[in-house]
Amino acid sequence: MNSKKIALITGANKGIGLETARQLAKQGITVLAGARDEAKASQAAAELRKEGLDVPGIVIDVNDEGSIQKAAARIEREYGHLDILVNNAGVMFDDREKKPSEQPLDVWRKTFETNLFGLVATTQALLPLLRKSEAGRIVNLSSILASITLHSTPGSPIYDSKQPAYDASKSAVNSYTVELAWELKDTPIKVNAAHPGWVKTEMGGEGAQMEIEDGAKTSVALATLGPDGPSGGFLHMGETLPW
């Protein structure tokens, strides 16, 4: 049985996921960098190895039940437990030129398949291993765009930014976070939703103002919360966001 903390990050081959892996590994945590295929997982591991960080790659495609189960079996076989799950993998397919009513149903389906159903499937498969941790931590990557309060408040930072399939999928992630935290309230496991910020990634696009290094900080903080930390929260840099 490995005595070091073990973390799994989905979608860790680039952007915020890769940076989260880097920062957790620098804290001495054994981090598994999850990616959809072997090439991407190996690439992430190789990049971090150049920095002196031993971060094994692991194949986990959150849209593939078999891939999720295989990853869970490997973690159980090699480590016996899991301390941290960062559900980082996510997609945005909304056409920003189209109105909310014009987004194709296919965009809605593909978005929810990864952002919600894939996240739930991954969490369900790994929860037995998290229950073996002395202090399990689940971090669900959300977004300020999940905030129904801010979307409906004229003058808010996101009032004029509408990507309905993405936004609604992240609102659903927030809802799941609250319900799972409620279920686990009498256990050492904490579950929180993280808004990383508007980060300079492929998904962030033009106009993003936050460096990737800062974009990972909320995930890292929630992954390493102490026993007095929150559970069932929606946070950015330690501040609670409105639902």
Question: Which pLDDT tens digit goes with each residue over 82-139?
Answer: 999 999 999 999 998 999 999 999 999 999 999 999 999 999 999 999 999 999 999 9
Q: What is the DSSP letter of 132?
A: T
**170: annotated active-site residue:** yes
Residues 55, 39: Cα–Cα separation, whole Å: 15
- Smallest CA-to-CA distance from 110 within 145, 59, 176, 62 is with 62
Residues 7, 24: Cα–Cα separation, whole Å: 8
What percentage of the chain has pLDDT greater than the value 90?
Answer: 91
Q: According to the model, what pLDDT value does residue 210 have? A: 76
Selected catalytic residue, list 5, 40, 79, 170: 170
pLDDT above 80: residue 31: yes
Domains, in order of start, for the chain: 6-240 (3.40.50.720)
Local structure of 136: helix, strand or coil: coil
Residues 32, 56 contacting (CB under 8 angstroms):
yes
Selected catalytic residue, list 5, 79, 166, 176: 166
- Smallest CA-to-CA distance from 85 within 28, 24, 144, 42 is with 24
**What band does 36 get if pLDDT is binned at 50, 70 and 90?**
very high
What percentage of the chain has pLDDT greater than the value 70?
Answer: 95
**217: annotated active-site residue:** no
